[in-house]
Structures are given as C-alpha cells and as structure tokens.
Amino acid sequence: MRHVLPLILGTLLVAGTASARQQPTTAQPSIPPDVQESRAAAQTFSATLKEALQQAIQNGGPVNGIEVCHVKAAEIATDLSQKLGLLVGRTSLKIRNPENAPDNWELAVLKQFEARKAQGEPNDSLEFFAVIDDDQGQKTFRYMKAIPTASLCLACHGEHISPEVDAKLKELYPKDTARGYKEGDLRGAFTIAKPLP
C-alpha cells in the first residue's frame, strides 16, 4: 500500500484471525471495533468496485472494463479512505499496477494466506490483522482480507486473454504480472491501515 512505510513483523503487538465466518458488518462484542470497521470497509470497497466493473463490461465489454478499473479503482479507494479515516487499498503477490505493490508486512500476510489456503482454509474467510509499530514508531492497526478469483475476473486476469484486452493491458500496464489465474486462486487482498493514537 502506498503511504505506509515497510513494517517489521518483529514489532507485532497484537495479531489475530478472529473467526471469519461471521458477517463483516454484524456487531460482535468479542471482535475489536477496528476489525469490524475494517471488514465493513473491505466489503464496501469490494461491492462498489464490482458494481462499477460489471456495469462497464455490460456497457462496452472487457476493454471498457479496463478503463474503469484503471481510473475508478484508485478513485474509490481514495474516496473511501477519506470518508472512513482509514487507508484502503488492494495488493497482490502478482501485481498489475506497480502502485499496488505490497510492503513487507503485506507481503508476509499474502504468503500466510497462500499457506493457509494450501492447508484447506476456505479462501473467502482468509483475513489477518495486527497492531504494529511502523518504522517511525507510529502505532498502526493493519488488516487484510483475501480476494478470491471469480469467473468474472478471468477475462482480464486469467490464462486466456483476448487480443483486444491484451493490447489494452499492455498499453496501460507494461509491467503487468496479474495474469494466469484460475477460478478459486487467491488474486490478492484488500489492505487497510489505521494510525492509532
């Protein structure tokens, strides 16, 4: 995530994987408010993006969808971040937009998600959070939630990408590595950061 300096796992103060079976927006006294807030933010981000993407594809096919992702993804993230007072973003082990590159903490969590998935955990329940000190000593709440690959995603992230989509992606993202995914793979994760007092 941009703006968040690399953080060291060794500075972990609190970490957890509160039962992810519960609905993100349900108030639960046993789950810290920062986790509930982050779950809700990730869900809003996901739903808003998916709606914009589906509409764009319906109106003008996948090439039109690329334009929307290109412009809207960052716009939605910025709007939501300002509204909620959190830093909201997306990241992945194989990124399309270099601005989505993971920092050290995010990289470790993405690898942890892959390991947990390999051990049979359902990929739609993979989440992780921690309170850490960043390298400037700022106490920060961090949260990540895995993003599974659905069939809708394959036109732009799958193994068989049409020549038109391929050309547009190459034009906008010459260093694109976010391809070759199959349905059910982990595409990446939502990532949220909140500076604490």
User: Which residues bind to ligand HEC, rule: CB under 6 A?
Assistant: 50, 53, 62, 65-66, 69-70, 73-74, 90, 92, 95-97, 100, 147, 149-150, 152-153, 155-157, 178, 187-188
Minimum CB separation from ligand HEC for residue 56, in Å?
7
CB 191 within 8 A of CB 106: yes
Q: What does DSSP assign to residue 26?
A: S
Closest separation in Å from C-beta 5 to ligand HEC: 20
> Please, are residues 130 and 142 in contact by the beta-carbon 8 Å criterion?
yes
Least separation in angstroms between residue 80's CB and ligand HEC is 14
Nearer to ligand HEC by Cβ, of 39 and 96: the residue is 96
Q: From CA 181, how far away is CA 150, in angstroms rounded?
A: 10
Count of CA atoms in the C-beta half-sphere (13 A) of 33: 2
Q: Which two tokens stand for residue 154?
A: 């394959």
User: Least Å distance between CB 136 and ligand HEC?
Assistant: 26
CB 31 within 8 A of CB 16: no
Residues 112 and 148 sit within 8 Å (Cβ to Cβ):
no
169: buried, middle or exposed (CB in 10 Å: 19+, 13-18, 0-12)?
buried
Min CB(188)–ligand HEC separation in Å: 3
